[in-house]
Amino acid sequence: MSDQPISRYPVPRLEDLPEDIRARILQVQEKSGFIPNVFLALAHRPAEWRAFFAYHDALMEKEGGLTKAEREMIVVATSGANDCQYCVVAHGAILRVRAKNPLVADQVAVNYRKADIAPRQKAMLDFAMKVALDSGRIGEADFAALREQGFSDEDIWDIGAIAAFFGLSNRMANLTNMRPNDEFYLLGRLPKAK
C-alpha cells in the first residue's frame, strides 16, 4: 500500500527542499517516527508551505483556553464535514494521543453529538461546524451560547480560526488527493502507544 502516490502533484525529495523546510520536516520525523505526508505534499510549493505551517502553529501550538485535545476535536469534526480523508485519519490519530482516549476520534469523525465528550465540547463543535458550513449566519446568539459555556471571546476566535484554517487544509488535501500515512491508522489506539 505504501507504493501509492501521496499526491496528484510531484512530491519533492527531502534533499531538494530549502533548508528551513527540510529542517522542520526532519524534526517532525524525529519526534513522530515518520513524516506525515502533508509536509511532503505541500512542499511542492515552498512559499505556501511556509505560510501554511506558520498558520498551523499559530493556532495549534499557542497557549489558550482550549486544550490541545479540544483543538484536535475541532479539526476532526470539521474535516469529516468537509469529506477530507487525510485530515480525519491524521488528526484522528493526534486526537487519540492528545486526549489519551482511543475511542473519541472515531466517534467525533462520524457524529460528535453522540461522542464521549463534555456538553461544553459539543457546544464548541456546534460553533465550529457553523463556521465550516454556514459562516454567513454567525451572529451574536452564537457568541452568547459559547460564553455561557465559559468560553472567552479569544477562545471563540480560536475555535473559529481552527475550523477556518482546516477548511483550507481539507480543500488542499482534496485538491492534491493527499494520502494519509499508513502509520496514522493505528496511532493512539493501543494502551502502550499512549
**Residue numbers at the binding site for a second copy (CB under 8 A):** 1, 4, 8-9, 44-45, 47-48, 50-52, 54-55, 57-59, 62, 80, 82-85, 88-89, 92, 102-103, 106-107, 109-111, 113-116, 131-132, 135-139, 143, 153, 156-157, 160-161, 163-165, 167-168, 170-172, 174-177, 179, 182, 185-186, 189-190
| Selection from 52, 46, 50, 40 nearest residue 7 by Cα | 40
For a second copy, the closer of residues 84 and 94 by Cβ is 84
For a second copy, the closer of residues 33 and 136 by Cβ is 136
**Beta carbon of residue 145, minimum distance to a second copy (angstroms, whole number):** 14
Cell numbers that stand for 85 in this block: 480523508
For a second copy, the closer of residues 95 and 172 by Cβ is 172
**Beta carbon of residue 127, minimum distance to a second copy (angstroms, whole number):** 10
**Beta carbon of residue 157, minimum distance to a second copy (angstroms, whole number):** 7
* φ, ψ of residue 8 in degrees (nearest 5): -65, -20
For a second copy, the closer of residues 26 and 186 by Cβ is 186
Distance of alpha carbon 9 from alpha carbon 116, whole angstroms: 38
**Beta carbon of residue 58, minimum distance to a second copy (angstroms, whole number):** 4
**Beta carbon of residue 73, minimum distance to a second copy (angstroms, whole number):** 15
Report how far apart, in Å, the C-alpha atoms of 39 and of each of 17, 97, 114 are: 11, 20, 32
For a second copy, the closer of residues 25 and 59 by Cβ is 59
Maximal C-alpha separation, the chain: 51
**Beta carbon of residue 123, minimum distance to a second copy (angstroms, whole number):** 13
